[in-house]
Amino acid sequence: MLKAIIWDYDGTLVDTRQKNLNVTRSIISTVTGKPAEAFPVLESVTVYDAANMKVPNWRVLYKEAFGLNDEQTSYAGSLWTEYQLKDNTAISFFNGINEVIHSLSYYGHGIVSQNSKQNITEVLSREGVDQFFKIVIGYEEVSFAFQKPHPEGLLQCIKQLTKLDDECFILYIGDHETDATCAYNANDQLSRKAVYSVGAFYEKEDHSNNWNIKPDFKATHPNDILDIVNLLQ
């Protein structure tokens, strides 16, 4: 029995690629004192998105692509919410997401993301769906050692969102290999198949055939999520 639906945020609910690139450009310039143009990975949305898809989380990206040490990376992280809220790049839900959430409103919904909780909740409120999301786990709620693909945030969200009795399960929807691996690791800790992963590939290329851990299902359009839910009922 499906008990709840948990979502990643960036690239799954919202297309934040341009905004996140702009925010990262500003943060890296502040932290390093160098112009964004000095870093090839910040050249374009395409290049930045490709770099993001190759690493497990933003801290690894900041260290590898920008040469930041631990202290600088933590400082960069502390700027994320402020710079996200100051940046006025328009973002919105992917086409069809709002309708899917309303169609599945009888399930409990949660979010596990490496974005800022405050930023996420403001977008949910603006999109008129905040009442459906009982739990939002942002990067601030999980220490670096336990960020995805470690299942800590996902397990924390499940525990607060619902009680997983035997034969009950949840969906976790995300666009990154880290999300599929996080679901796999959660099942390992729970010692059973309690989390089914959905790869979200609407408006982007599906690279999951190259992933070490592949999603249980794929959604090339948000409406595919409705079909997956119906299949699991």
CB contact set of 114 (below 8 Å; sequence gap of 6+): 10, 57, 58, 138, 139, 147, 148
- Nearest C-alpha neighbor of 173 from the set 110, 121, 104: 110
Q: Looking at domain 2-15+93-232, which of 1.20.120.530, 3.40.50.2000, 3.60.130.10, 3.40.50.1000 is its CATH number?
A: 3.40.50.1000
Which pTM value belongs to this model? 0.89
Q: Which two tokens stand for residue 137?
A: 């786990």
Identify the pLDDT of residue 233: 81
* pLDDT at res. 54: 84
Residue 182, C-beta contacts closer than 8 angstroms, at least 6 positions apart = 112, 148, 149, 150, 151, 153, 154, 172, 174
pLDDT at residue 210 in the model: 85
Q: Answer yes or no: are the C-beta atoms of 202 and 219 closer than 8 Å.
A: yes
The pLDDT, as a whole number, for residue 163 is 87
Angle, alpha carbons 90-118-84 (nearest 5°): 40
The pLDDT of residue 110 is 98
Give the per-residue pLDDT at 164: 83
Angle between helices 177-190 and 152-161 (to 10 degrees): 70
Distance, CA of 112 to CA of 144 (rounded, Å): 14
Predicted pLDDT of residue 106: 95
Contact 220, 201 (CB under 8 A): yes
Query: Within 10 Å of residue 123's Cβ, how many Cβ atoms?
Result: 20
pLDDT in tens, the chain (233 residues): 999 999 999 999 999 999 999 999 999 999 999 999 999 999 999 999 889 888 877 888 999 999 999 999 999 988 988 998 899 998 999 999 999 999 999 999 999 998 889 889 999 999 999 999 999 999 889 987 888 999 999 999 999 999 888 889 999 999 999 999 999 999 999 999 999 999 999 988 888 888 899 999 999 999 999 999 999 98
Beta-carbon neighbour count of residue 82 at 10 Å?
A: 15
Pairing outcome for strands 133-137 and 108-112: parallel
Query: Can you tell me the distance from the alpha carbon of 189 to that of 13, in angstroms, rounded to the nearest whole number?
Result: 26
